[in-house]
Chain A
Amino acid sequence: GNSVTQMEGPVTLSEEAFLTINCTYTATGYPSLFWYVQYPGEGLQLLLKATKADDKGSNKGFEATYRKETTSFHLEKGSVQVSDSAVYFCALKSPHESGGYNKLIFGAGTRLAVHP
């Protein structure tokens, strides 16, 4: 079936460091890909998304490119801040999944801790 694999955390960085969180997926056809962020004690917020191959999603300095050839959607940010400390979830929606485009399939999440 369809699935998402994320790098295990926690990822610990100093402020202004470069961030990469790896995400790869297994899916039939062309899924839509998402990054959600969960700040402590809060629900999930959409960070960015891409719906077709080679699309780049970007928001708040974060970006990710939909790579069909490597089935990846890695999240990057050039200079992280303490306020970026959160759990980041990669997710997909696929028409070939039971429930189709109606359900999000999430990775396990990657915790990011940024220190001053």
Chain B
Amino acid sequence: DSGVTQTPKHLITATGQRVTLRCSPRSGDLSVYWYQQSLDQGLQFLIQYYNGEERAKGNILERFSAQQFPDLHSELNLSSLELGDSALYFCASSAGGGAGETQYFGPGTRLLVL
């Protein structure tokens, strides 16, 4: 158990809908990262928040947004969903950020868009 929790575990929805994925980092960690794992794109970095502020951005679509709240949990919002958004979404956390720092991953949320 990494100490990172994600809810829900599974989500099934329809095209055009909006969903929210939730992540609670390990106790004491200030950074939260979101990654998408799909069959065609592999594991891709989406976005990072550090202590409530956006720190780094990857290939995140404009339809996707995230935020980190004062209690440090984070939410990833996916809107106008398309079939291609079906994937496993991972949240990771770390103390801050740095060369050798380990990112600890949650169990993921599996999203299926029908």
Q: A43-B90, A44-B105, A99-B58 are in contact. Are A49 and B100 (CB under 8 A)?
A: yes
Q: A43-B106, A44-B105, A106-B42 are in contact. Are A101 and B58 (CB under 8 A)?
A: no
Q: Tell me the count of chain A residues lying within 8 A, CB to CB, of chain B.
A: 25
CA–CA, A96 to B52, complex, Å?
24
A43 adjacent to B2 (CB under 8 Å): yes
CA–CA, A98 to B105, complex, Å?
21
Does A93 sit within 8 A of B, measured CB to CB?
A: yes
Does B67 sit within 8 A of A, measured CB to CB?
A: no
B100 CB contacts on chain A under 8 angstroms: 32, 49, 51
6 A-B pairs in the complex with CB atoms less than 8 angstroms apart: A42-B107, A43-B90, A43-B107, A89-B43, A100-B56, A106-B44
Interface size class of B (residues with CB under 8 A): 20 to 34
CB neighbors of B among A27-64 (8 A): 32, 34, 36, 42-46, 49, 51
B107 adjacent to A102 (CB under 8 Å): no
CB neighbors of A among B60-101 (8 A): 90, 92, 97-101
> Which residues on B are within 8 Å of A, measured CB to CB?
2, 4, 31, 33, 35, 42-45, 48, 55-58, 90, 92, 97-108
CA–CA, A108 to B97, complex, Å?
23
A88 to chain B, nearest CB (A): 12
Q: Interface majority SS on A: helix, strand, loop or mixed?
A: mixed
A102 adjacent to B48 (CB under 8 Å): yes
B105 adjacent to A105 (CB under 8 Å): no
CA–CA, A37 to B100, complex, Å?
17
